[in-house]
Amino acid sequence: MLNPLTPEVLADPVALTRALVDIESVSRNEKEIADCVEEVLRGAAHLSVERFGNTVMARTDLGRAQRVVLAGHLDTVPLAGNFPSTVDGDKIYGCGTSDMKSGDALALHLAVTVPDPRYDVTYFFYEAEEIDSQYNGLNLVARAHPEWLAADFALLLEPTYGAVEAGCQGTMRAIVRTSGRRAHSARSWRGVNAIHAAGEVLRRLEAYTARTVTIDGCEYREGLNAVRVAGGIAGNVIPDRCEVEVNYRFAPDRSAAQAEAHVREVLDGFEVEVTDSAGGALPGLTAPLAQEFLAAVGAAPVAKLGWTDVARFAELGVPALNFGPGDPMLAHASDEHVEVGKINDGAAVLRRWITAA
Protein backbone atom coordinates (compact mmCIF):
# COMPACT_ATOMS: atom_id res chain seq x y z
CA MET A 1 0.00 0.00 0.00
CA LEU A 2 1.25 3.47 -0.83
CA ASN A 3 1.68 5.60 2.26
CA PRO A 4 -0.97 8.38 2.17
CA LEU A 5 1.23 10.56 4.41
CA THR A 6 3.06 12.19 1.52
CA PRO A 7 5.42 15.18 1.93
CA GLU A 8 2.66 17.48 0.65
CA VAL A 9 0.22 16.12 3.23
CA LEU A 10 2.78 16.28 6.06
CA ALA A 11 3.35 19.96 5.29
CA ASP A 12 -0.31 20.81 5.95
CA PRO A 13 -1.75 19.82 9.36
CA VAL A 14 -5.31 20.08 8.01
CA ALA A 15 -4.66 17.68 5.14
CA LEU A 16 -2.68 15.49 7.52
CA THR A 17 -5.61 15.30 9.93
CA ARG A 18 -7.86 14.00 7.22
CA ALA A 19 -5.25 11.52 5.96
CA LEU A 20 -4.82 10.08 9.47
CA VAL A 21 -8.59 9.85 9.98
CA ASP A 22 -8.87 7.90 6.73
CA ILE A 23 -6.60 5.15 8.09
CA GLU A 24 -8.96 3.06 10.20
CA SER A 25 -7.39 2.42 13.60
CA VAL A 26 -9.98 1.21 16.09
CA SER A 27 -8.23 0.05 19.27
CA ARG A 28 -6.14 -3.10 18.72
CA ASN A 29 -6.08 -2.42 14.97
CA GLU A 30 -3.35 0.23 14.87
CA LYS A 31 -0.71 -1.61 12.83
CA GLU A 32 -1.47 0.10 9.51
CA ILE A 33 -1.43 3.63 10.90
CA ALA A 34 1.65 2.90 13.02
CA ASP A 35 3.42 1.57 9.91
CA CYS A 36 2.63 4.77 8.01
CA VAL A 37 3.74 7.03 10.86
CA GLU A 38 6.93 5.04 11.42
CA GLU A 39 7.85 5.23 7.74
CA VAL A 40 7.63 9.02 7.53
CA LEU A 41 9.46 9.52 10.84
CA ARG A 42 12.31 7.26 9.73
CA GLY A 43 12.60 9.43 6.65
CA ALA A 44 13.46 12.48 8.79
CA ALA A 45 17.25 12.61 9.22
CA HIS A 46 17.07 14.67 12.43
CA LEU A 47 15.05 12.02 14.28
CA SER A 48 15.98 8.70 15.84
CA VAL A 49 13.04 6.30 15.79
CA GLU A 50 12.07 3.27 17.88
CA ARG A 51 8.95 1.11 17.86
CA PHE A 52 7.40 -1.08 20.54
CA GLY A 53 4.32 -2.95 19.40
CA ASN A 54 2.22 -0.37 17.61
CA THR A 55 3.70 2.55 19.53
CA VAL A 56 6.17 4.69 17.60
CA MET A 57 8.68 6.94 19.38
CA ALA A 58 10.86 9.52 17.62
CA ARG A 59 13.29 11.93 19.25
CA THR A 60 15.78 14.65 18.56
CA ASP A 61 19.20 14.48 20.23
CA LEU A 62 20.55 17.98 19.76
CA GLY A 63 22.14 18.39 23.19
CA ARG A 64 19.52 20.85 24.40
CA ALA A 65 19.33 21.60 28.13
CA GLN A 66 15.71 20.45 28.36
CA ARG A 67 13.56 17.75 26.79
CA VAL A 68 9.82 17.90 26.16
CA VAL A 69 7.38 15.20 25.10
CA LEU A 70 4.54 15.55 22.61
CA ALA A 71 2.26 12.53 22.74
CA GLY A 72 -0.94 11.37 21.08
CA HIS A 73 -2.76 8.06 20.80
CA LEU A 74 -3.38 6.59 17.36
CA ASP A 75 -6.44 4.49 18.22
CA THR A 76 -10.12 5.43 18.07
CA VAL A 77 -13.34 4.09 19.49
CA PRO A 78 -15.38 1.80 17.17
CA LEU A 79 -16.72 3.35 13.99
CA ALA A 80 -20.25 4.76 14.03
CA GLY A 81 -21.02 5.23 10.34
CA ASN A 82 -18.44 8.02 10.32
CA PHE A 83 -15.63 6.56 8.22
CA PRO A 84 -13.99 7.70 6.02
CA SER A 85 -13.82 11.42 6.70
CA THR A 86 -16.03 14.03 5.06
CA VAL A 87 -15.77 17.80 4.87
CA ASP A 88 -18.60 20.28 5.37
CA GLY A 89 -17.50 23.90 5.19
CA ASP A 90 -14.77 24.44 7.77
CA LYS A 91 -15.39 21.15 9.58
CA ILE A 92 -13.81 17.72 9.03
CA TYR A 93 -16.13 14.90 10.14
CA GLY A 94 -15.06 11.37 10.95
CA CYS A 95 -14.08 8.91 13.65
CA GLY A 96 -11.08 10.27 15.53
CA THR A 97 -11.17 13.79 14.12
CA SER A 98 -11.50 15.31 17.58
CA ASP A 99 -10.17 12.45 19.72
CA MET A 100 -7.44 12.71 18.70
CA LYS A 101 -6.07 12.48 15.19
CA SER A 102 -6.12 16.24 14.78
CA GLY A 103 -3.76 16.35 17.78
CA ASP A 104 -1.63 13.58 16.26
CA ALA A 105 -1.46 15.62 13.06
CA LEU A 106 -0.01 18.61 14.91
CA ALA A 107 2.71 16.49 16.50
CA LEU A 108 3.56 14.63 13.29
CA HIS A 109 3.63 17.88 11.32
CA LEU A 110 6.10 19.40 13.79
CA ALA A 111 8.18 16.23 13.98
CA VAL A 112 8.99 16.29 10.26
CA THR A 113 9.05 20.05 9.61
CA VAL A 114 10.97 21.40 12.63
CA PRO A 115 14.48 19.88 12.56
CA ASP A 116 16.00 22.42 14.98
CA PRO A 117 13.64 22.98 17.94
CA ARG A 118 14.76 24.99 20.97
CA TYR A 119 14.19 21.94 23.20
CA ASP A 120 15.03 18.34 22.48
CA VAL A 121 11.68 16.73 21.68
CA THR A 122 10.39 13.19 22.08
CA TYR A 123 7.31 12.37 20.01
CA PHE A 124 5.02 9.46 20.94
CA PHE A 125 2.32 8.05 18.68
CA TYR A 126 0.89 5.24 20.78
CA GLU A 127 -1.65 2.48 20.70
CA ALA A 128 -4.73 1.46 22.69
CA GLU A 129 -5.54 4.47 24.85
CA GLU A 130 -9.29 4.05 24.43
CA ILE A 131 -9.47 0.60 26.07
CA ASP A 132 -8.23 -1.15 29.22
CA SER A 133 -4.95 0.27 30.50
CA GLN A 134 -3.19 -3.09 30.18
CA TYR A 135 -3.04 -2.45 26.41
CA ASN A 136 -2.11 1.25 26.60
CA GLY A 137 1.03 1.93 24.59
CA LEU A 138 2.51 4.39 27.09
CA ASN A 139 1.83 1.93 29.90
CA LEU A 140 3.65 -0.81 27.98
CA VAL A 141 6.57 1.51 27.17
CA ALA A 142 6.81 2.55 30.84
CA ARG A 143 7.35 -1.10 31.75
CA ALA A 144 9.69 -2.10 28.92
CA HIS A 145 11.54 1.15 28.09
CA PRO A 146 11.01 3.66 30.91
CA GLU A 147 14.00 5.68 29.70
CA TRP A 148 12.00 6.67 26.61
CA LEU A 149 9.64 8.67 28.85
CA ALA A 150 12.33 10.76 30.54
CA ALA A 151 11.58 14.46 30.07
CA ASP A 152 11.27 17.81 31.79
CA PHE A 153 7.73 18.47 30.53
CA ALA A 154 5.05 16.62 28.56
CA LEU A 155 2.16 17.76 26.41
CA LEU A 156 -0.72 15.39 25.63
CA LEU A 157 -2.50 16.46 22.45
CA GLU A 158 -5.91 15.38 23.71
CA PRO A 159 -8.97 17.37 22.60
CA THR A 160 -9.26 20.61 24.57
CA TYR A 161 -10.73 22.92 21.89
CA GLY A 162 -7.57 24.98 21.89
CA ALA A 163 -7.52 25.60 25.64
CA VAL A 164 -4.91 24.35 28.07
CA GLU A 165 -6.46 21.75 30.35
CA ALA A 166 -4.39 21.18 33.47
CA GLY A 167 -3.93 17.90 35.27
CA CYS A 168 -6.75 15.39 35.16
CA GLN A 169 -9.32 13.68 37.34
CA GLY A 170 -8.80 10.24 38.78
CA THR A 171 -11.24 7.51 37.86
CA MET A 172 -12.47 4.44 39.68
CA ARG A 173 -14.96 1.73 38.80
CA ALA A 174 -16.50 -0.54 41.40
CA ILE A 175 -19.17 -3.24 41.58
CA VAL A 176 -21.69 -2.91 44.40
CA ARG A 177 -23.44 -6.22 45.13
CA THR A 178 -26.70 -6.96 46.90
CA SER A 179 -27.88 -10.42 47.85
CA GLY A 180 -31.21 -12.05 48.61
CA ARG A 181 -32.91 -15.42 48.56
CA ARG A 182 -34.17 -17.10 45.41
CA ALA A 183 -37.85 -18.12 45.22
CA HIS A 184 -40.69 -18.70 42.74
CA SER A 185 -42.28 -15.37 41.86
CA ALA A 186 -45.73 -16.86 42.56
CA ARG A 187 -44.58 -17.29 46.16
CA SER A 188 -42.40 -14.19 46.38
CA TRP A 189 -42.84 -13.89 50.16
CA ARG A 190 -40.57 -16.92 50.50
CA GLY A 191 -37.67 -15.05 48.90
CA VAL A 192 -35.71 -11.83 49.29
CA ASN A 193 -35.40 -9.72 46.13
CA ALA A 194 -31.80 -8.61 45.53
CA ILE A 195 -32.85 -6.17 42.80
CA HIS A 196 -35.18 -4.41 45.22
CA ALA A 197 -32.32 -4.26 47.73
CA ALA A 198 -30.26 -2.40 45.13
CA GLY A 199 -32.79 0.43 45.36
CA GLU A 200 -30.97 1.71 48.44
CA VAL A 201 -27.70 1.83 46.48
CA LEU A 202 -29.39 3.90 43.78
CA ARG A 203 -31.07 6.20 46.32
CA ARG A 204 -27.72 6.96 47.94
CA LEU A 205 -26.16 7.73 44.56
CA GLU A 206 -29.11 9.90 43.55
CA ALA A 207 -28.83 11.90 46.78
CA TYR A 208 -25.05 12.17 46.59
CA THR A 209 -23.61 15.70 46.49
CA ALA A 210 -20.34 15.77 44.59
CA ARG A 211 -17.41 17.97 45.58
CA THR A 212 -16.15 20.89 43.54
CA VAL A 213 -12.46 21.47 44.21
CA THR A 214 -10.33 24.40 43.06
CA ILE A 215 -6.60 23.71 42.69
CA ASP A 216 -4.22 26.35 41.31
CA GLY A 217 -7.23 28.25 40.00
CA CYS A 218 -8.64 25.22 38.14
CA GLU A 219 -12.06 23.90 39.17
CA TYR A 220 -12.46 20.11 39.24
CA ARG A 221 -16.01 18.75 39.52
CA GLU A 222 -16.34 15.26 40.92
CA GLY A 223 -19.06 12.72 40.18
CA LEU A 224 -20.19 9.37 41.62
CA ASN A 225 -22.70 7.63 39.39
CA ALA A 226 -24.29 4.30 38.59
CA VAL A 227 -23.32 3.34 35.05
CA ARG A 228 -24.69 -0.20 34.75
CA VAL A 229 -27.09 -2.55 36.58
CA ALA A 230 -27.14 -6.34 36.20
CA GLY A 231 -29.53 -8.73 37.87
CA GLY A 232 -32.30 -11.23 37.35
CA ILE A 233 -32.50 -14.93 36.60
CA ALA A 234 -35.78 -15.61 34.81
CA GLY A 235 -39.23 -14.08 34.43
CA ASN A 236 -40.63 -16.23 37.23
CA VAL A 237 -37.77 -16.19 39.75
CA ILE A 238 -37.08 -13.80 42.62
CA PRO A 239 -33.39 -12.92 42.12
CA ASP A 240 -30.82 -13.55 44.81
CA ARG A 241 -28.04 -11.38 43.26
CA CYS A 242 -27.80 -7.91 41.78
CA GLU A 243 -24.81 -5.78 40.77
CA VAL A 244 -24.61 -2.01 40.34
CA GLU A 245 -21.48 -0.74 38.61
CA VAL A 246 -20.45 2.73 39.75
CA ASN A 247 -17.91 5.17 38.35
CA TYR A 248 -16.23 7.74 40.56
CA ARG A 249 -14.44 10.68 38.94
CA PHE A 250 -12.40 12.35 41.66
CA ALA A 251 -10.31 15.50 41.94
CA PRO A 252 -6.52 15.07 41.85
CA ASP A 253 -6.14 16.17 45.47
CA ARG A 254 -7.37 12.67 46.38
CA SER A 255 -5.24 9.57 45.96
CA ALA A 256 -6.73 6.37 44.59
CA ALA A 257 -6.70 4.93 48.12
CA GLN A 258 -8.58 7.95 49.48
CA ALA A 259 -11.07 7.71 46.62
CA GLU A 260 -11.73 4.05 47.40
CA ALA A 261 -12.24 4.84 51.08
CA HIS A 262 -14.77 7.51 50.11
CA VAL A 263 -16.74 5.18 47.84
CA ARG A 264 -16.85 2.55 50.58
CA GLU A 265 -18.03 5.18 53.06
CA VAL A 266 -20.87 6.33 50.78
CA LEU A 267 -21.93 2.71 50.18
CA ASP A 268 -21.32 1.44 53.69
CA GLY A 269 -23.21 -1.77 54.42
CA PHE A 270 -22.90 -3.13 50.87
CA GLU A 271 -20.32 -5.40 49.30
CA VAL A 272 -18.02 -3.21 47.17
CA GLU A 273 -15.36 -4.53 44.80
CA VAL A 274 -13.06 -2.03 43.08
CA THR A 275 -12.41 -3.30 39.56
CA ASP A 276 -10.35 -0.49 38.04
CA SER A 277 -8.62 2.58 39.42
CA ALA A 278 -6.28 5.29 38.15
CA GLY A 279 -5.15 8.31 40.11
CA GLY A 280 -5.40 11.81 38.71
CA ALA A 281 -2.72 14.44 38.14
CA LEU A 282 -2.32 17.79 39.84
CA PRO A 283 -2.21 20.83 37.52
CA GLY A 284 1.58 21.16 37.47
CA LEU A 285 1.32 24.77 36.35
CA THR A 286 4.29 26.10 38.31
CA ALA A 287 6.90 24.20 36.31
CA PRO A 288 8.98 26.65 34.21
CA LEU A 289 8.30 24.78 30.95
CA ALA A 290 4.58 24.75 31.70
CA GLN A 291 4.74 28.52 32.19
CA GLU A 292 6.54 28.90 28.86
CA PHE A 293 3.85 26.91 27.12
CA LEU A 294 1.06 28.89 28.78
CA ALA A 295 2.73 32.08 27.57
CA ALA A 296 2.74 30.71 24.01
CA VAL A 297 -0.99 29.94 24.26
CA GLY A 298 -1.84 33.27 25.88
CA ALA A 299 -4.89 32.07 27.80
CA ALA A 300 -5.59 30.88 31.34
CA PRO A 301 -5.77 27.11 31.89
CA VAL A 302 -8.82 25.20 33.01
CA ALA A 303 -9.21 21.85 34.78
CA LYS A 304 -9.22 18.63 32.78
CA LEU A 305 -12.51 16.87 33.50
CA GLY A 306 -11.63 13.30 32.63
CA TRP A 307 -8.59 11.03 32.85
CA THR A 308 -5.70 11.31 30.41
CA ASP A 309 -2.16 10.01 30.22
CA VAL A 310 -0.88 13.18 31.89
CA ALA A 311 -1.34 11.04 35.00
CA ARG A 312 1.32 8.60 33.78
CA PHE A 313 3.82 11.43 33.44
CA ALA A 314 2.81 12.88 36.81
CA GLU A 315 3.65 9.53 38.42
CA LEU A 316 7.14 9.87 36.93
CA GLY A 317 7.52 13.40 38.28
CA VAL A 318 7.14 14.96 34.82
CA PRO A 319 4.76 17.97 34.75
CA ALA A 320 2.25 17.59 31.93
CA LEU A 321 -0.64 19.47 30.34
CA ASN A 322 -3.38 18.70 27.79
CA PHE A 323 -3.71 20.77 24.62
CA GLY A 324 -5.34 19.90 21.30
CA PRO A 325 -7.61 21.29 18.57
CA GLY A 326 -10.48 18.85 19.01
CA ASP A 327 -13.61 19.57 21.04
CA PRO A 328 -13.84 17.10 23.97
CA MET A 329 -17.64 17.41 23.90
CA LEU A 330 -17.58 15.70 20.47
CA ALA A 331 -15.25 12.85 21.40
CA HIS A 332 -16.73 9.40 20.64
CA ALA A 333 -19.85 10.92 19.07
CA SER A 334 -21.25 9.75 15.74
CA ASP A 335 -21.03 13.35 14.48
CA GLU A 336 -17.46 13.80 15.75
CA HIS A 337 -15.68 16.58 13.90
CA VAL A 338 -12.92 19.16 14.18
CA GLU A 339 -12.77 22.74 12.96
CA VAL A 340 -10.11 23.64 10.41
CA GLY A 341 -9.42 26.92 12.21
CA LYS A 342 -8.66 25.10 15.47
CA ILE A 343 -6.14 22.87 13.68
CA ASN A 344 -4.34 25.85 12.15
CA ASP A 345 -4.41 27.80 15.42
CA GLY A 346 -3.04 24.83 17.34
CA ALA A 347 -0.25 24.30 14.82
CA ALA A 348 0.73 27.97 15.13
CA VAL A 349 0.83 27.81 18.94
CA LEU A 350 2.99 24.69 18.98
CA ARG A 351 5.37 26.02 16.36
CA ARG A 352 5.71 29.31 18.29
CA TRP A 353 6.46 27.39 21.48
CA ILE A 354 8.84 24.81 20.00
CA THR A 355 10.82 27.33 17.95
CA ALA A 356 10.40 30.46 20.10
CA ALA A 357 9.60 32.23 16.84
CB 156 within 8 A of CB 320: yes
Closest CA to 61 of 124, 145, 119, 147: 119
Catalytic residue among 38, 75, 327, 339: 75
Strand-strand pairing, 120-126 and 55-59: antiparallel
CB 157 within 8 A of CB 72: yes
240 catalytic, yes or no?
Answer: no
DSSP 53-102: TTEEEEE--S--S-EEEEEEE--BPPP-S--S-EEETTEEESTTIIIIIH
Question: How far is the C-alpha of 222 from the C-alpha of 224, rounded, in Å?
Answer: 7
Amino acid at 343: I
Count Cβ atoms below 10 Å from residue 110 Cβ, excluding itself: 20
Assign residue 332 a region (left: φ > 0; alpha: ψ between -120 and 50; beta: otherwise): left
75 catalytic, yes or no?
Answer: yes
Rounded (10°) angle between helices 288-297 and 340-355: 140
Catalytic residue among 129, 130, 327, 336: 129
Cα distances (Å, whole numbers) of residue 147 to 61, 71, 144, 151, 245: 14, 15, 9, 9, 37
Count Cβ atoms below 10 Å from residue 71 Cβ, excluding itself: 30
* Catalytically active residues, by annotation: 75, 129
